[in-house]
Amino acid sequence: MAASSSLRALILVFFLLPLLAEGITRHYKFNVAEKKFTRLCSTKSIATVNGQFPGPTLYAREGDTVLVKVVNHVHYNVTIHWHGVRQLRTGWADGPAYITQCPIQPGQNYVYNFTLTGQRGTLWWHAHISWLRATVHGAIVVLPKSNVPYPFPAPHKEVVLVLAEWWKSDTEAVINEALNSGLAPNVSDAHTINGHAGPLSGCSSSARDGFTLQVDKGKRYLLRIINAALNEDLFFKVAGHQLTVVEVDAAYTKPFTTDTLLLTPGQTTNVLLTARQGAGRYIVTASPFMDSPLVAVDNRTATATVQYANSVSTSAITTTKPPPQNATPVASSFTDSLRSLNSQQYPAKVPATVDHSLLFTVGLGVNPCATCANGSRVVADINNVSFVMPTTALLQAHYFNASGVFTDDFPGQPPIAFNYTGSGPRNLQTMSGTRLYRVPYNASVQLVLQDTGIIGPENHPIHLHGYNFFVVGRGVGNYDPKSSPSNFNLVDPIERNTIGVPSGGWTAIRFRADNPGVWFLHCHFEVHTTWGLKMAFVVDDGEGPNQSLLPPPNDLPSC
């Protein structure tokens, strides 16, 4: 008896000590390899990490250094991005292919080496090359430093929920088909919650198939929700339960309670759910939000189940109606409710003044294409530039002063001012180029992202690498530099790394360029990124001892 309990104590110490400690180095190995999954609509092989879909959760504490050895066993080039990790001075570990590194080629490996500084919450990792992130993705859970509590009631249990999109076909075939035709790619065949489409989806093998969260009456659960979908914003609901938002993109928020969440691809949201119902089973839904009538989406709802401990899998089920696909008011109400916690411990350090004031139009265009179905192809752009990927990594070109890879003349304003969200006849063509925008170290940047109606207005979830930004304003129609700033929130705006630019409207963000390197800015709808809705900032080194990009690691892949 005594022996067994001391053994148990020893085992506890052995396993828990690393998790309780902080400022330590955590080692992970990610084997990228093919695996077959029969639980969904088809039995194709997909690229996975360690044979899991979604992939393994990476756990660490604020202050830890993380070393992930990625070994490529598939026949595609691979890179992994640590979405939302600041990567202070360690751009070499950020991951977007041809931006910060050359790909890890088949049979090769690379160790991502980064430290989690000043962040805690839910982030995620995903492949950052072509469309491989469809299946190569997973959660990152950054716990607070030991003995630092959450600024909200402690949960009894924490659960990661990864929302995604699933195609019956190989996603590389889907995007290649679209690029050849010049038309939009096929929409997905199902949405998934933790890799299952769910019992009500029409895409599962049994009525009981799907992710089940077991709960005890009266207990509190922290749901760490990630939208890993390629091309769709998702609403999230739990029948019979309210959700209290406490954190987004690894930044604490003022808590607020709602029955519906909205997550764009790339965004993460932590909510508290109290198991207030006595018993039974309650349906969880993930369903698309799209308020542009021109854009086709996968309208299938993924489902999961919250099941009380005293219930069985055949107990009565309570369902919920997802918001309509075009429910703009539901989406706006959620977005407008988000505020930074802005406490003494977690202040919102919003830049009060602006050194670089930028206006970027984001939208679609049409360029000639002799081999395409209609003699033209759909493209996307920022300030009329459809970004062309270089054949060597921009960060290397920057660090080694290589010429001829990029220019630093990205336009800070639209080349032609026009009625951005208006309709009417237009020249639909865009320019192409590998153009970057240069910012000195520690400059404050205000960036207004303005949707265009050139093809049709559409929401764009814009993600910035290497930084969190503050979302200081948002509006419909055209941004007005004279009147719009008077409504900016410079006190407690939400801090995050990905923000939806509203369909036919604009969003204003601010950040301080305190992280030297080359940082990707792009639409997190993968189809728009593929079409060219992307650019990069080059942030120069500062003069101080800790203000320069570190040298590249020895195992950095080459092109």
Ligand X SMILES: *[C@@H]1O[C@H](CO)[C@@H](O)[C@H](O)[C@H]1NC(C)=O
Residues that bind ligand X (CB under 6 A): 67, 77, 90, 102-103, 105, 113, 169, 173-174, 177, 186, 299, 373-374, 384, 400-401, 415-416, 419, 422-423, 427, 429-431, 442, 545-546, 550, 553, 559
- Report in angstroms how near the CB of residue 144 gets to ligand X at its nearest: 20
For residues 285 and 322, what is the distance between their CA atoms, to the nearest angstrom?
A: 7
Q: Which is nearer to ligand X, 386 or 497 (CB)?
A: 386
Q: Which is nearer to ligand X, 110 or 152 (CB)?
A: 110
Q: Which is nearer to Cu ion, 328 or 337 (CB)?
A: 328
Q: Between 474 and 513, how does the x/- string for binding to Cu ion read (CB under 5 A)?
A: ----------------------------------------
Query: For ligand X, which residue has the nearest CB?
Result: 422
Look at residue 442 and give the partner it binds from Cu ion, ligand X, none, a contact being a CB closer than 5 to 8 Å depending on partner kind. ligand X
- Report in angstroms how near the CB of residue 96 gets to ligand X at its nearest: 13
Q: Which is nearer to ligand X, 174 or 243 (CB)?
A: 174
Q: Are 83 and 114 in contact (CB under 8 A)?
A: no
The SS3 call for residue 8 is helix
Look at residue 419 and give the partner it binds from Cu ion, ligand X, none, a contact being a CB closer than 5 to 8 Å depending on partner kind. ligand X
- Report in angstroms how near the CB of residue 523 gets to Cu ion at its nearest: 3
Token pair 């709802």 is found at 301
For residues 308 and 315, what is the distance between their CA atoms, to the nearest angstrom?
A: 10
Residue 486: Cβ-neighbour burial (10 angstroms; 0-12, 13-18, 19+): exposed
For residues 380 and 525, what is the distance between their CA atoms, to the nearest angstrom?
A: 11
Q: Which is nearer to ligand X, 329 or 415 (CB)?
A: 415
Look at residue 400 and give the partner it binds from ligand X, Cu ion, none, a contact being a CB closer than 5 to 8 Å depending on partner kind. ligand X
Q: Are 522 and 533 in contact (CB under 8 A)?
A: yes
14 CB-near residues (< 8 Å, 6+ apart): none
- Report in angstroms how near the CB of residue 249 gets to ligand X at its nearest: 22
- Report in angstroms how near the CB of residue 279 gets to Cu ion at its nearest: 43
Q: Answer yes or no whether residue 463 interacts with Cu ion by CB under 5 A.
A: no
Strand 212-215 with 302-308, pairing: parallel
Q: By CB under 5 A, which span of 42-50, 81-89, 173-181, 527-535 interacts with Cu ion?
A: 527-535
539 CB-near residues (< 8 Å, 6+ apart): 438, 439, 440, 441, 466, 513, 515, 516, 517, 518, 519
For residues 194 and 3, what is the distance between their CA atoms, to the nearest angstrom?
A: 40
Q: Answer yes or no whether residue 528 interacts with Cu ion by CB under 5 A.
A: yes
Q: Answer yes or no whether residue 534 interacts with Cu ion by CB under 5 A.
A: no
User: From the DSSP assignment, how many helices (H) and strands (E) are in the chain?
Assistant: 5, 33
Q: Which is nearer to Cu ion, 126 or 528 (CB)?
A: 528
Residues that bind Cu ion (CB under 5 A): 460, 523, 525, 528
